[in-house]
Every structure is written in C-alpha cells, then in structure tokens.
A and B are shown apart, each in its own frame.
Chain A
Amino acid sequence: MRVLVLFAHPAQRKSSINTAMAASATELEGVTFVDLYAEYPRFSIDVDREQRRLMEHDVILFQFPVFWYSTPALLKQWQDLVLEYGFAYGPQGKKLAGKHTMACVTTGGGISDYTEDGGNRRVFEQFLYPLEQTATLCGMEYLPPFILYSANHLAEEAAQLHIRSYPRLLTALRDDRFDIPALRLLPTFGSFNLPDLVRD
C-alpha cells in the first residue's frame, strides 16, 4: 500500500521521541512523509496539493502528540480545509472511500490516567472519536491507533523501542505485511503488539 504520513508537531525542538520517529520515517523509501508545520508555518494550507496527496496514497497516518485531548491546531485546520464537501464527503464526494487511516500518537498521561477511574475519566481511544467519525463519514476505514503513553517520563529503553517500532510499522503497511484483520480486534496497539501484527 502507498503510505502517507502527515506529521503535526508545533514544538519540534522540545520533543525527542516524536522527532526521532519522524526522522526514521523520513528515510523510508516508498513512504511519503509530510511535516505539516514545516510546509504551512503560517497555516495557509494548499488545499489542492493536499487533496492530490490523499488521492495518491492508500493509508493515511496522522502522527502527532496529543494536546488537550485532541490534535495540534494545524492538523485540525488541515481537516477543516482539506476534507471538503464535494471531495471527502457529500453526494459527489467520497473520493477517499476505501482508504485506511491510522493515528500514531504520544500522550503525556499514563495508561492508568486513561481509565474510568483515572484522572482523564475515559479510555484514550474515546478521545480520538472525532477523528474516527471523520474517517468513517468519508468512507475510510479507521484503524486502531498506535499509542505511546507517558511520553514525557519514559525510560530510555521503552522510548527507543517505540522509536524503532515506528519504521517497522510503516514498512509493514507499505509491503502489505501488516495483519489488518488481527489489528481490527484490538482497541489500540503499541510497540509491544507489533510482533503479533507484523509478518516478517
């Protein structure tokens, strides 16, 4: 499958995990990597170009750190402008139908915060419901998100594991070695799930 990564991170000098992930994704052949904040520093998104990009790929990955239970502002701007009526939805729309989307996110809170009894009072995937419903409305399949919890206070080893897993995930999607039916059964997944999902 043709893989498109839309990376949205407004403070790249601070983040080492997301930028390391992004750096490894940039080097992959056959994977289109887009740094949205670099291409549209003034939020003036080239809608035609973004729509063309979407048409040219089969899997669209949104890579971002979660801010206030949502996407960074530019990624929301991207959704508002690019997923137009008549292109992404509406009677003449549905140009994206049949594609897959996936969110690759890092969170500040730990997995225990994202429980019914935790500080955030909900499991994490519920916060991505707008993204999921957007994909569904556009006729795309929304795959379970690839998550790294507690990204701000993580042991070096765990961080490295996640960073290493990312290109593995991307190449598996690219080469159709990713077990999508198995993934569908999970609510979310992390680097520890990859051995079960990727056929080498």
Chain B
Amino acid sequence: MEGLAFYALCYLAAAVLAVIVSQRIGLGSVVGYIAAGVLIGPVFQISVAGSGYLEQFSEFGIVMMLFLIGLEIDPQMVWRLRDKLLGLGGLQVVATIAAVTAAGVGLGFSWQQSLLFGFVAALSSTAIVLQTLEEKGLLRSDGGQASFAVLLFQDLAVIPMLACIPLIAGSGLGSSSGHGGAAFLAELPGWASAILTLAAVGVVVAAAHFLSRPVFRTIALLGLREVFTAAALLVVVGITVLMSAVGLSPALGAFLGGVVLANSEFKHELQNDIEPFKGLLLGLFFMTIGAKIDPDILLANWLTVAAATFCLIIIKALVLLPLAWFFNVRGPAGWLFTLGLAQAGEFGFVLLTIGGDRGLLSPPTVSVSVLIITFSMVLTPLLFALSNRIVVMLDRRGGHRRNADQPDQGTIILAGVGRFGQIVNRMLLANGHKPVVLDYRADVVDNVRKFGVKSFFGDAGRPDLLDSAGLAHAVLLIVAIDDPDRATEIVSYARRSNPGIQIIVRAYDRLHHYKLVDAGADHIVREMFDGSVQAAGMALEALGMHPYEVEKRKTVFVDQDIAGLARMATLVESDTPAVNNPDFIAGFNDIGKVIENAMMGYRSGYDEMVTRGWNAPDAASIHVPSDTHPRRTARKSE
C-alpha cells in the first residue's frame, strides 16, 4: 500500500507540475506528460519497478480514446467534410506512408519496419493541433477545417494500422501482446477462429445496439450516478476483454462499440463518464513513454534524432503543401494546414509500442523513434509561429488575395454572422438595408449567400479586407464577432481610417466594454446583458410580480448599471487587471449603491427609484410593500 501511494504521489505530482508548465509555454498537455515521464524515469529513477503493470493499465487510455472517437462520429459532419476527409486525408496518409516507407527501405530497414515508420509518420497529433487551433480561434477557419478533416481521417486510419501491425510483424515474432493474448484461439483450427472472431465483432455490435439501451435506461432510472459510470467503464473493459480473447485489437472493438452507441440518447453521459478516465489514462500512457526514454540513447544518437525529426517534418510538409493546394486550401490557410500538421502524433507511440511488443523493432529503435516523435511534437508551436510568419510575409506581398473574397463596397459593414450577427443581419434586411457581410467561415458565408445577402469570406480583422468592403466610405460598422481582442483591433483600425463612421460593437464583458470605448466604439452591446436582464424579469414575473412593475424594475436596473459603467470608466487602467485594481473594485462595489442595497435586502434606493412615479400626494402613509402585494390572488380571478 505504501509503495502504491508513493507511486501515485510521484506520478500525479510529476504530471500536474509538468503539464502546467507545458501548457503555460504553449506546448500542450501531451508534451507535458512525456516530460513528466522523463522526470519519473530517467531523471529520478522512480518508475523502474511498477512500470510494466502501469503500462498495461495505461493502454486502456488508447482504447477509451478510440471509443470516444467512435462516439463522436457524426454522420452529418463526416458527410459535410467528405471531400476533404477522404480526398485530402486519404491522400495525405497514403502519400506520407509511401514516402517514409521508401526512405526507410533506402536507409536499410526492412520493408516491414519501414512501413511501420510510414504509419507512424502519417499521423499527426490530434491533441496538440486541435487544442492549438482552438486556442488561436482558427478551428473554424478554412485551414482549421481542413486540418480537422485530415486529423479525423488519421484517427480512423489508426484502426486498420493497428490491425495491420500483427500481420506485417508475422505471428511467429510476437513475444507477448500485453493484452492477455489469443492463447486459446491458437488451439482452434483456422476456420473456427475466423468464425469466433466474426462472432465477437457481432456480439459487440449487437450488444451495443440492442442491449445497451435497456441496460442504461434501467441504470439511469436508479439515479445512481456512479453505477452509470461503472457501466460505462464496463462497456469499454468488456469490449477489451472480448476482443483480446479472440485476438483482435481492443481499440478496434472499442471504436466499433462507440460508433454503434453514437446514436444512443446516452451518448453524452457516456462521453462525460469516460472522458476523465481517458484523459488520465492517456496521460499515464504518455508518461510511461517518457519514462522509457533512455538518456544514454539520446546522447548516443542525438544527431540521428535531430536529422530524422527534421526530415520527418520536411517530408510531411512536402506531402501536405501540394495536397492543400490541390484541394483549394491555399494562401494563409494552406500554410496553416501544412505546418500545423507537420508533426507526428500520439498514436505513433501506440503503434511503436505495439511494433516493439511484436518484435518488429528493437528496443533502442523504439526509443529513438519515440524521441523523434516527441521532438516533432515539441516543435509544433514553432511550426505554428512559422506559418504565422509566412502569412505575414504573404500579406505584405499581397499574395493572399487569391484566397479571400474581394468584397463589394457598401455603406453598412457587418463583421461576423454567427449567432449574434445573424440576428443583426436579419433585422437590417427586414428593414430594407443590405449590409456587406464578412465572415471567416466559408460555409457560413455560403449559407448566408443562399439568402441573397452580399457576404464575403475573409477575416474581418484584416485591414485590407475591411478596406475593400468600403470602410472608408461606410456610414456604419457593426462588429459582431465573438473574439474580444480581434473586435477591439477592428474598432481601432476602423476609427483611425474613417473617423466619421458609426461603430456598433459586441462586447464580451464589462472590461472589454472599456477597451472598446478606448478603441473608439460609439455603441457597445454587452453580449449577455440584455438576455440576462430578460431572464431576471421573467423570474420576477414568475414569482408573482406584476408585469409592468417588472418592466419598471428592469429599466431602473439597466439604467443604473449603465450609469455605473460610465462612472467607472475613469477607474479602469488598461495594463492592470481589474482584480488587482483597488479603485476599480471600490467603484464596482459602489455601482449605484442602489443595486447593492437591493441585494443586501434593504432595497431603499432601488425601490424608491422604481416606485417614484404614480404616487398619491400622501403616498408614504398608504405605501404597500411590494412583497405583500395582493397581486397573486388578483390575477387568479382574471
């Protein structure tokens, strides 16, 4: 027990520390886990004893990941991305495998080994790339969508790859599969084992389809949260055991199970239950990879590792760039796509581990390969920065214009037609105004175009696009995008280049409001404010307050809040975060003492404001407190 607690302490502490540091410097969690593994293994020599057992355990992380990927398969999305998914993704995988396999054979590896290297190189890091794209707000851009499609295809391609490794390794080479093995199958004749294998797959599909619903419903009715979690884990573990028994890849089985369950109404519960286990176990898996890195091997082979990492990135980029161009992902989007996907990914570790287990690769080769993958992942932030650089250079040369649309000029410019901008757009159209609409999501632009709206694809944050939309002569600019920093940039650029324009802008919150004031916005709408006030009003009405009374109270509240917003503007300092600015906090607390008073229970100020009108001359003596107002009964008699 003491030993177990100690291991848990070391692993968890290393993981928390390394992941925090790694996230902070923008390398993502995968690199952090690997670093934690390095700390535990080579550096402090803690892991040696328990690592074999932990490794087996952590492989459940992979199984769960594939189960979740299966759950995530949304037929509509797959259909929408089908061109890029099959075309771009498929060609990328095939071409990279071919190139790397050829290079491997050329370097003197066997074709089996080279093919495994090809598999590993063809995959990019879903975890790192998706996270980076999301952080940079590029996931829904054209380059981001193309990357997403390719990553999705790669995730799917892992399954046949996993199935292939035992085949290319040859059955005789396998030392131990680590999953408890197909021992009893080996005693059966070939036809029987084939039938059994098919039957096992059939069992998974049938059970997931027919059995899962009644079972999950029964458990859900019990209302025991942890039993549902146990059942979710049971599904994954059960599939793993069944698949291992017949010698199939548990990951493949889990993926199948996930796909079948994707239509189930319990999909989201399953996801939520499995997700943390998957995260932790995958983390553990990466840590065991890191723990296995041998510093001696790195020192002895550092030149090989460096050269191979460089070659890997170059080969991947050389495959990706022409494909992107061919599939019309060009200019900035093309570079983002090419450099963003040029690293190897976490599935590479899985493939290498299995390849090593099957005796396809020697342990030193596996170690060197793991190092290469790791370094290519560590370099990802640099690759993203490089793509940014190239985009800036393209911007300067004007070479990107092929990609973004050339908008018509208009007197009203609407930047962003998401959930916010759409309403603005509809209302403008209903009143006979036709804004020029800019959005950086090509599919949204296409949809809006179908309704006859002049809309143009491109990033509204780019000055030249705003210029060609007629910013210089426009009378009104509406900034409806959800990225606060970009919105601020657009406002200040617009104010500089057209001092007379009216600017209406969507603010994220109070502090963003002040930044927008500084940037030169005329009218600022806090995106959540009005809706929240409506909800509060409905709540008061539901509690029995007279609707017109509610209306008045809402009005006073909004007026007070806006007055407070203006009063506090002088207290905001742009470089100090609000929470560290005592003046701002004091001002916030002061915000019309009114509202605070109301919250503290004595509503004097607020109540006075609300009840100011329509009082008889001696109102004080006949004032009825609003709580005891006989409205509820009055209303029933209506």
Contact = CB atoms under 8 A, between A and B. Distances in A.
Interface of A: 42, 44, 46-47, 80-81, 84-85, 89-90
Contact of A81 (B559, B613, B617): B613
**Residue in A46, A85, A90 with the greatest tally of chain B CB atoms within 10 Å:** A85
B555 interface: yes
Contacts, number: 21
B555 A44 contact: yes
B612 A81 contact: yes
Interface residues of B, number: 11
8 contacts: A42-B555, A44-B559, A47-B612, A81-B614, A84-B612, A85-B617, A85-B619, A89-B617
B622 to A, nearest CB: 13
Which label, helix, strand, loop or mixed, suits the secondary structure of the B interface? loop
B613 A90 contact: no
B522 to A, nearest CB: 17
Contacts of A47: 612-613
Contacts of B616: 85
Contacts of A81: 612-614
Given A47-B612, A81-B612, A90 B617 contact: yes
A80 B614 contact: yes
Interface of B: 552, 555-556, 559, 612-617, 619
**Residue in B555, B612, B613, B615 with the greatest tally of chain A CB atoms within 10 Å:** B613
A42 B613 CA distance: 15
Given A42-B555, A44-B555, A85 B615 contact: yes
Nearest to A47: B612
Nearest to B552: A44
B555 A80 contact: no
Nearest to B615: A85
Contacts of B612: 47, 81, 84
A172 B286 CA distance: 89
Contacts of B556: 44
Nearest to B616: A85
**Residue in A44, A47, A84 with the greatest tally of chain B CB atoms within 10 Å:** A44
Contacts of B555: 42, 44
Nearest to B617: A85
B528 to A, nearest CB: 20
Contacts of A42: 555
B509 to A, nearest CB: 24
Contacts of A85: 615-617, 619
Nearest to B609: A47
Given A47-B613, A89-B617, 14 more contacts: A42-B555, A44-B552, A44-B559, A46-B559, A80-B614, A81-B612, A81-B613, A81-B614, A84-B612, A84-B615, A85-B616, A85-B617, A85-B619, A90-B617
Contacts of A44: 552, 555-556, 559
A25 B619 CA distance: 39
B117 to A, nearest CB: 69
A42 B614 CA distance: 17
